[in-house]
Chains A and B, each alone.
Chain A
Amino acid sequence: MENKAITCKDLTKRFGDFKAVDGISFDVEPGEIFGFLGANGAGKTTAMRILCGLSYPTSGQATVAGFDVYRQQEKIKKNIGYMSQKFSLYDNLTVWENIRFYGGVYGVSRPEIKKRSNELIATLGLEKEAGKLVGGLPLGWKQKLAFSVAIFHRPKIVFLDEPTGGVDPVTRRQFWDMIYEAAASGITVFVTTHYMDEAEYCNRISVMVDGRVEALDTPANLKNRYHANTMDDVFYQLARGAKRKSD
């Protein structure tokens, strides 16, 4: 248990009579890129919010970075990075101020923030934009920056909630290069997406349907099992049976 990045056992979240997350169980290995798939309304975001310590589960167990999701949320928060589909940098702060703020609240020291942000700005090629407000950057750049900020404090695990929504294929490709780099440096990546080509980039993927995990394996094994040529096909076969209407 201890050396798993994430463990879930019968994790359930109920809103009244509605089971948003219905007894899901899975483990995520350290350094793995774990794709968390599902149709809209399948319960992905709810499950992810529980794992990030934003929401209490109704029942079941889960640990993130070895910490319990009921009692040790603040410890979880120190050890994870999070980037949500709602864009979460401050538009009215500059690139550099955003980095400094998020670095600072995760306890990175000021000299270290300076050093790392110079590297980061150079890597992203944002030297000219570093002093500009984030609100004025193109979406693709914002998203790359948001990801870099989410892993700035070198967390054990990074949660990405539809990180590439609305960006062009080239930028998506570059984004995934960054994800691979992060994984190579030992960060576990937990990512939700609607793009099936991106699902292929994951080490393992799980597919949620109606609050339950219906399938969990490597992309290749899943394609074999469902006699499908593409992940699209796999997803379609699984999600077709969904009773919940997508939003």
Chain B
Amino acid sequence: MKTLGFILQKEFRQILRDKTILAMMFVMPTFQLVILPLAANFEVKSINVAYVDHDHSSYSRQLRNKIASSGYFRMMGTPGSYKEGLGMVEYGKADLIVEIPSGFERNLMREGSQKVNLSVDAINGTKASLGGAYLVAVLADFNNNLDINMKLAGNRATEPPAKISVASSNWYNPRAEYKYFMVPGILVILLTMIGGFITALNIVKEKEIGTIEQINVTPIQKWQFILGKLIPFWIVGMVVFTIGLLVMYIVYGIFPKGSLVVLYLFAAVYLVALLGLGLLISTFADTQLQAMFIAFFFMMIFMLMSGLFTSTDSMPEWARMLSDATPVTHFIKVVRLIVLKGSGFSEIKNELGYLVIFAAILNGLAIWNYRKTT
């Protein structure tokens, strides 16, 4: 135990002395939590619309105003022809063309139906499908509120059209804001970076400078060396996690609805698992460059497979299996459940089981693969 004390003393000195790493550890969480949730946003707003109006009637003007005032669309102009509108799409000035044929108002009045042409730039699939859907909804609403339809309904007062009106409410995130989904996720990614990669780089750096050789020739035992590396970064991770929670509260006003104790318990176990991954990477990599590449490989998988940006439920079966096999997935889920939903320990204890298994496997492999003598 005395030896471990000396090792910890040395590690803390070195961590506190490395100003770059230290700054990164504290600036990164703040910066990422403040900036990323605002930018990484899947809500589709400000879709640029080219409105081709061949009718120039009061109805077509009403429709144009309605689209413009819906909050989702930005009127980029009223080109004279469809071709001109397409030109705007080609130059990236418009995402969507609405073409109102001539005789729009007349046909609606007389024949009770009229086709409208929508063309959507589908390069950004999300924007295209959501934009199209929003516009269809705006059109449907416009249609319902047309004087002519109102009058028709009024005339047949004896049998009012049956209408189902849906009143939906969003639970756990009442305004369905994307940031409530993203912020806890980004918090998890931060812990992942610190736990998994700074540790790996730290150990590999000792390999590069050659001090690890000096360590290997001392009576320092394997477990002492490993604990000496894990404990400081575990503490750093918990500190960064706390800073992250504070930023989340101060900037976004999100305070965990569930128990902080449970949240910290999960963070603690999760960090052990990720530190194990870092350690494992360091036993394979001989240079920091190699370690970085391996780390990036895992980071990409973690970011895209963990349900950080997208729901894991909509992944294909095989992808969901892969997703379940990364510890990040489980921790992101747990953090969202505790922070937003206020889930208690009993509802998420299975996830803790997963994390414990990851921690045991990753650390076990790392210890097994770390050799003082080759």
Q: Which residues of A contact B (CB under 8 A)?
A: 52-56, 73-74, 77-78, 80, 82, 84, 86-93, 97, 100-102, 104-107
Contact = CB atoms under 8 A, between A and B. Distances in A.
A139 to B, nearest CB: 15
Contact of A105 (B13, B14, B220, B374): B220
Given A82-B214, A88-B210, A90-B14, A54 B3 contact: no
Contacts of B372: 53-54, 73
A213 B213 CA distance: 25
A74 B210 contact: no
Contacts of B216: 54
A62 B221 CA distance: 22
Given A88-B210, A93-B14, A105-B3, A52 B219 contact: no
Q: Nearest 8 pairs between A and B by C-beta?
A: A104-B6, A86-B210, A88-B214, A82-B217, A101-B10, A78-B219, A77-B219, A105-B218
Given A93-B10, A101-B10, A54 B218 contact: no
- Indicate the size class of the contact surface on chain B: 20 to 34
Nearest to B10: A101
B10 A88 contact: no
B5 interface: yes
Given A86-B210, A87-B210, A91-B209, A106 B218 contact: yes
Contacts of A74: 219, 221
B168 interface: no
Contacts of A93: 10, 13-14, 17
B22 to A, nearest CB: 12
B211 interface: yes
B6 A90 contact: no
30 contacts: A52-B217, A53-B217, A54-B373, A54-B374, A55-B373, A55-B374, A56-B373, A73-B372, A74-B219, A77-B217, A77-B218, A77-B219, A84-B210, A84-B213, A84-B214, A87-B210, A88-B213, A88-B214, A90-B14, A90-B211, A92-B17, A93-B13, A93-B14, A93-B17, A104-B2, A104-B3, A105-B3, A106-B218, A107-B2, A107-B219
B219 to A, nearest CB: 5
Nearest to A56: B373
A95 B17 CA distance: 15
A91 B10 CA distance: 12
B18 interface: yes
Contacts of B310: none
A86 B220 CA distance: 20
Given A80-B217, A88-B210, A90-B10, 6 more contacts: A54-B372, A54-B374, A87-B210, A88-B211, A90-B211, A105-B219
A100 B218 CA distance: 14
B126 interface: no
Nearest to B221: A74
Nearest to B228: A105
A97 B373 contact: no
Nearest to B14: A92
Contacts of A54: 213, 216-217, 372-374
Interface in B1-30: 2-3, 5-7, 9-10, 13-14, 17-18
Identify the interface centre among B10, B220, B374: most chain A CB within 10 Å of its CB.
B10
A93 B10 CA distance: 8
A235 B63 CA distance: 98
B5 A104 contact: yes
Interface in B210-249: 210-211, 213-221
Contacts of A90: 10, 14, 211
Contacts of B374: 54-56
A101 B13 CA distance: 11
A107 B4 CA distance: 11
Contacts of A97: 10, 13
Contacts of A86: 209-210, 213
Nearest to A77: B219
Contacts of A82: 214, 217
Contacts of A80: 217
A86 to B, nearest CB: 3
A84 B215 CA distance: 12
A101 B6 CA distance: 6
Contacts of A89: 211
B372 to A, nearest CB: 8
Contacts of A52: 217
A53 B7 CA distance: 21
A59 to B, nearest CB: 16
Nearest to B218: A105
Nearest to B210: A86
A90 B5 CA distance: 17
